[in-house]
Amino acid sequence: MGRCLPSSTVALATFCMLLPLAAGWSDFKPTTPRATARRGLRLRSGSRPWQPGLAASSECDYDVVVIGAGPAGCSLAALLAAAKNPPKVALLSSKADQRWIPNYGCWTEEWAQLDAMYAARGVPGLMAKGVDSQWPDTDCFFGEDADGKLASEPEGNARRTLGRAYLRVSRAGLKRLFYGDDSSRAYDVIKEDALGAVVGTNVFAPYGSVRLHPTPTELTLAASQRKLKARVVVDATGAESRFTIRDDRDKEGYQIAYGLECTVAGAGVTDTHVGDYARSKMTLFDYRSEVWRTTNGLSESKVIKEPTFNYVMPLSQDVVFFEETSLVANPGVSFQECKDRLTARLASQGVAITEVLEEEFCYIPMGGAVPRRGQRLVPVGAAAGVVHPSTGYQLGRCLASNVDVCAQILDELQAPAASFDPDGAAGRILGRTWTPQAIRQRNFALFGGDFLMQQDVNGLKGFFSGFFKLDVGMWAGFLAGWKDLPYNEFHAGWAARIVFGVVFLTKLPFNVAFSMVRAIVGYTLAEGPDLVQSVTPLLGEPAPFSASNDFKANAAGDRRAKNEAAVMCGFATGDETGDAGKQ
């Protein structure tokens, strides 16, 4: 039974919740100089002398504060710090010094492209220092026969070799590249988290944790409660950000994968192979399951209905990385189920795990909407929904998008401090990631994710068997799916996407092609015109993010009323607000 509040308290609480909805609400309480002093902050400055180029204005501690020290946050901080006239940047995270946990995989061609993009902007070395292992080619198993046809039963064992190189990113190397160390870093690191959680557009709880002043944005550091003001605040806190609202999260799917770096033994382990997997190649997909799905206590019907595949990186003569992966599902497949399937699968190939060196629990939310418009904090990386909605690839897309984000931030900071418009800037910065074209392209991939989520193992085998029969540019362009990454010309416009769709349908087994056509109709009826807009010129383009700060038209609202209420609620005193009672 919930606690009852007196009705007057309920009314007041409701009023107080609604008040901050008007932008400009939190600008009534200027922070005193004492509150913004940097005394007590745990800062680490790099040895490079601070060169005030786009120097933080006197009312700001920083030009840019980046919350979160994952790949998105660190790559953006590194790019900004490497600019010709670098802004003053701080990266915020209590876990800033911790290693990155995920094992990131990427196509070599894509990584080489990112290497060139970052080198051109003063951050060289992605290829030289950010790679752990490379394979010149990639294998797949879709249960096909030698002629490339899918056998219903028994499942075929033909190997499909894709002719494309793959690599494992060095987590430590990439972090070192972007984050450096205390003696070389050209931005500040504050080893504290930002306090607060977004509860409505530009409304944060607890009250006052994030304040949206007319020019700067003010954050509260969680441990010390100290305040920090910046002209641009970037949210790089990952897929489950507490600072950015993304709607439609109920439509997300989840990539779940149980990964294992281990040593192996057994009859299937030879100089050239570990089970069916060639040591000289990376195996992207092994979707076969017929020989093991009734072993190790598994439910055959569950394996068929909730398919998983094995992803294999042979790392050395002794060590292999396996990852049993559910591409996308809602609800997500359990980690234990993935682990049991991996054990059964390997046993069927004469491979036993002898020592576990590292386990990985991969959880990637995919899909949902792009960030809600009109938010002051600028999301990047997973917080911005940059993950590929049908594959879960995100690192390459995040690194590529941060190049544009960085360029726009530098542009915005050229504005004189007094006329800096943080809301307009936020819209334009996020608008470089989510251009109308990128949103249209994403909507196409969203349908892909939705379709994949509904497939059983035979549907997925048929889908990928057809997918990799496409020309390499078409399939590789879909997997990356981001402007500036290789082969995006095959997906960048509505005409390219309709060609892709039609050609793809012709490569699919009839039953899968038929169910895709049915799904297109069902999806359009259920979800509206986004898919049609993505593949035709009929419905124009989504509105640009740069137009997303229209709410500013009534930015100030009735400041007197808001301040009076704040004083009466006990949030503030007249002295603090300075203008309670004045308009």
Ligand X SMILES: Cc1cc2nc3c(=O)[nH]c(=O)nc-3n(C[C@H](O)[C@H](O)[C@H](O)COP(=O)(O)OP(=O)(O)OC[C@H]3O[C@@H](n4cnc5c(N)ncnc54)[C@H](O)[C@@H]3O)c2cc1C
Point out which residues bind ligand X (CB under 6 A).
Answer: 67-73, 92-93, 95, 102-105, 193-194, 236-238, 360, 362-364, 381-383, 393-395, 398
Nearer to ligand X, 238 or 266 (CB): 238
Nearer to ligand X, 257 or 512 (CB): 257
Tell the smallest beta-carbon distance from residue 226 to ligand X (Å): 14
Burial of 279 (0-12, 13-18, 19+ CB in 10 A): middle
Nearer to ligand X, 384 or 565 (CB): 384
Nearer to ligand X, 76 or 460 (CB): 76
Tell the smallest beta-carbon distance from residue 277 to ligand X (Å): 18
For the chain, the distance separating the N- and C-terminal CA atoms, rounded to the nearest angstrom, is 43
Burial of 144 (0-12, 13-18, 19+ CB in 10 A): buried
Are the beta carbons of 409 and 64 closer than 8 angstroms? yes
DSSP SS3 for 33 = helix
89-92 and 188-190 strand pairing: parallel
Which residue intervals of 108-265 are DSSP H helices?
108-119, 126-129, 171-179
* CA gap 353, 343 in Å, rounded: 8
The residue whose Cβ lies closest to ligand X is 70
Tell the smallest beta-carbon distance from residue 380 to ligand X (Å): 7
For residue 220, the cross-strand partners are: 227
Are the beta carbons of 367 and 456 closer than 8 angstroms? no
Side-chain-side CA neighbours of residue 65 (13 Å) = 28
Instruction: Count the Cβ atoms, other than its own, within 10 Å of residue 431.
Output: 21
Residue of 428, 430, 277, 446 lying closest to 369 (CA atoms): 446
Tell the smallest beta-carbon distance from residue 196 to ligand X (Å): 8
Instruction: Count the Cβ atoms, other than its own, within 10 Å of residue 7.
Output: 8
Which amino acid, 323?
Answer: E
Tell the smallest beta-carbon distance from residue 363 to ligand X (Å): 5
Structure-block tokens of residue 497: 């996407």
Tell the smallest beta-carbon distance from residue 386 to ligand X (Å): 7
Nearer to ligand X, 404 or 576 (CB): 404
Nearer to ligand X, 22 or 76 (CB): 76
Instruction: Count the Cβ atoms, other than its own, within 10 Å of residue 362.
Output: 21
Residue of 308, 330, 446 lying closest to 390 (CA atoms): 446
* CA gap 497, 246 in Å, rounded: 25
Tell the smallest beta-carbon distance from residue 375 to ligand X (Å): 16
Which amino acid, 62?
Answer: Y
Counting other chains too, the contacts that 124-127 makes at CB distance below 8 Å and 24 or more residues apart are 125/177, 126/174, 126/177, 126/399
Which residue in this structure is represented by tokens 């990385």? 321
Nearer to ligand X, 16 or 315 (CB): 315
Burial of 336 (0-12, 13-18, 19+ CB in 10 A): exposed
Nearer to ligand X, 358 or 550 (CB): 358
Nearer to ligand X, 76 or 565 (CB): 76
Are the beta carbons of 376 and 229 closer than 8 angstroms? no
Tell the smallest beta-carbon distance from residue 63 to ligand X (Å): 18
Nearer to ligand X, 363 or 514 (CB): 363
Tell the smallest beta-carbon distance from residue 456 to ligand X (Å): 25
Structure-block tokens of residue 475: 């399939």
Tell the smallest beta-carbon distance from residue 405 to ligand X (Å): 12
Nearer to ligand X, 94 or 201 (CB): 94
* CA gap 171, 370 in Å, rounded: 27
319-329 and 227-235 strand pairing: unpaired
Tell the smallest beta-carbon distance from residue 397 to ligand X (Å): 7
Structure-block tokens of residue 71: 């790949």
Residue of 342, 266, 329 lying closest to 298 (CA atoms): 342
Nearer to ligand X, 190 or 439 (CB): 190
Structure-block tokens of residue 564: 């009076």
Tell the smallest beta-carbon distance from residue 394 to ligand X (Å): 4
Tell the smallest beta-carbon distance from residue 44 to ligand X (Å): 15
Nearer to ligand X, 262 or 567 (CB): 262
